Structure formats: structure tokens, C-alpha cells
Amino acid sequence: MQQKLKIAIQKSGRLYEDSVKLLKDCGIDVKNGINKLKTEAENFPLEIYFLRDDDIPQYVEDAVADIGIVGENVLYEKNKKVDVVEKLGFGKCRLSIAVSRGEQYSGPAYLQGKRIATTYPVLVQRFLDEQGIRAEIHEISGSVEIAPGIGLAEAIVDLVSSGSTLFMNGLKEVETILRSEAVLVRNKSLDEEQLKLLDRFLFRIRAVKKAKNNKYVLMNAPTDKLQDIIALLPGMKSPTVLPLAEPGWSSVHSVISENQFWDIIEQLKAAGAQGILVVPIEKMIL
């Protein structure tokens, strides 16, 4: 019987859709029926468990699941003995301190002797210890942002994406204590066969990630400007150059990082490139 790799992902909430999309982008066919907590991929040796995000680190530590996708905020709060094997690039947020908009926040020392409401007492206590501050932590679940308004606390520590929820509750973000994204974690005691399956899975994940971070670019270049244009292109090795039917022109193909994209495109235009076509990359194997 073929061994399967068991992966735990969030059954609902912030990371669920992106986790399932990642599996599908990796060519793994996942069918998740309504309220189904376990399924198997049809074309890859993978069992998928749909669990509460707070439980995933524990399940991976206990080897109920071999690997899991979880936010760093949950991972470090639960402090379980698992290994992080890959940052996944989605589910980005920050764990931040917020106070009432009328307060004058002067830095971490502001929290001395204050009451702090949070769902993340471990991370908050670690931050306070690092800063040499003593404060009273109130652990609550859900609706943390209302705590100052009802007199429960003078500050909160909560996940922030856009900050709109804080604004609507009369709060302002004043300090970030953790930047978080989804990560792939693994049990520390995988056997040789499980590690081979994990390597196959990681190969697919990294190809998908690489594709998302790069663009395939095609352009027409006058022959007398060709070397100047090629010099601007980073490429994986070197750009592809093909002669066009019209004399004195070539077609140049290359890959450009998303982070460098607009700066390089402007330079290519200035160097004489024309008819620049940008195409998304589905997978990228190096």
C-alpha cells in the first residue's frame, strides 16, 4: 500500500481558501464536501485534514498530521515542537498594539502597569518581557477591539490587515510586534519515505511561488539597440533572441521579477524596445 503524506489545513477562515488554491495550483486534485473533515487527493499521495487553525500545530507535533499550513501568529503562540519548512506568501497580516485614538503612545513604556486585552497572551508576554515591562494581560477570544471602549483594558494586541476594524472602534495601531504569513510546518520525526514525499510536494510549491513572483516578457527590439536591451534583462540565464521577418528587428523573450518589473519596463522603453507583451507564468521550474 502506497504511503501517503498527511497535511492539516484550516477548515474555514482566513487561510482556508488560499491553502486549497495552493494545492490546486500544485496540480493536486482536492475534493472537499460540506462539513467533511478528511479527504484524499486523487492524483498525489496526500491525505488532507480540515481542522481548526489553533489545533494544527498540536496535530503536527503529535504526528496525527505529518505537515500543516498555519499562520505564524498561531504557530508562535502555541509554541509547539514543529519545524517550519517553507513560507507560503499568503495570509499576510501583523500582530499589533492598538490604543484609543486620543491616547498619546510614547513607545512600549506606555504599557507599564496597563491592562492589555488579546487573544495572544504568549506572544504579548514575550514582547513585554523583552521590553522589561510589567502589565496585566486579559486573554479574551473574539471582539478584542471593543475592550478599551467597555473599560476592560487600556490597550489591545490583535491581528491587523487594513486597520479598518480598529478605526471603526475608535482605536489606532501604534506598534507591530509580529509580521505573520502562512507557513508550511512538519513533524520533526518524519521517516525517509515521508521526507521524499515532502520534497516532491515542496518542489511543486516552489514552482508555483516562483511563477507568481515573475512575469514572462516579450518585446520587439531594433538590432542596433539589441545589446543595450539585453543588458537590462536579468533573466534566468540569458534572454531568448529570435529574428523577426522585418529586417533590423528581433524578438526578445525574458523573465522579470515582480519586484523589479516596472523599473525595468521603463528602462526597456527608453532603450528602444517596442510592442512589449507581459504574460503571467503558471509554473516555473529552475
pLDDT tens digits along 163-197: 788 988 899 999 999 999 999 999 999 999 999 99
pLDDT at residue number 194? 96
Inform me whether the pLDDT recorded for 285 exceeds 90. Answer: no
pLDDT tens per residue across span 216-245: 899 999 999 999 999 888 756 678 899 999
* Model confidence band, residue 97 (pLDDT cutoffs 50, 70, 90): very high
Mean of the pLDDT values across residues 43-49?
94
Q: Report which DSSP code applies to 82.
A: -
pLDDT value, residue 248: 92
Domain definitions of the chain by residue range: 5-91+181-211, 93-180, 214-280
- Greater confidence (42 vs 73) lies with 73
Return mean pLDDT, the chain.
Answer: 91
Tell me the backbone φ, ψ of residue 112, rounded to 5 degrees: -55, 120
CATH superfamily for domain 5-91+181-211: Periplasmic binding protein-like II (3.40.190.10)
Q: Is the pTM of this model over 0.95?
A: no
Neighbours of 144 (CB within 10 A): 25
Query: Which one is the CATH code of 214-280: 3.30.750.24, 3.30.70.120, 3.40.630.30, 3.90.1150.10?
Result: 3.30.70.120
Summarised one tens digit per residue, pLDDT across range 68-95 is 999 999 999 999 999 999 999 999 999 9
> Would you state the CATH architecture of domain 93-180?
3-Layer(aba) Sandwich (3.40)
The reply to whether domains 93-180 and 214-280 share a CATH topology is: no
Q: 25 and 88 in contact (C-beta within 8 Å)?
A: no
Residue ranges with strand state E in 140-248: 155-160, 171-180, 182-186, 214-222, 240-243
Residue in the block written with cell 496526500? 46
Q: What is the pLDDT of residue 125?
A: 97
State residue 85's pLDDT score.
Answer: 97
Q: How far is CA 172 from CA 126, 138, 159, 162, in A?
A: 22, 19, 13, 12
Q: Which of 191, 126, 115, 120 is nearest to 155 (CA)?
A: 115
- Residues 238-283: tens digit of each pLDDT: 788 999 998 999 999 998 888 888 888 899 999 999 999 988 888 7
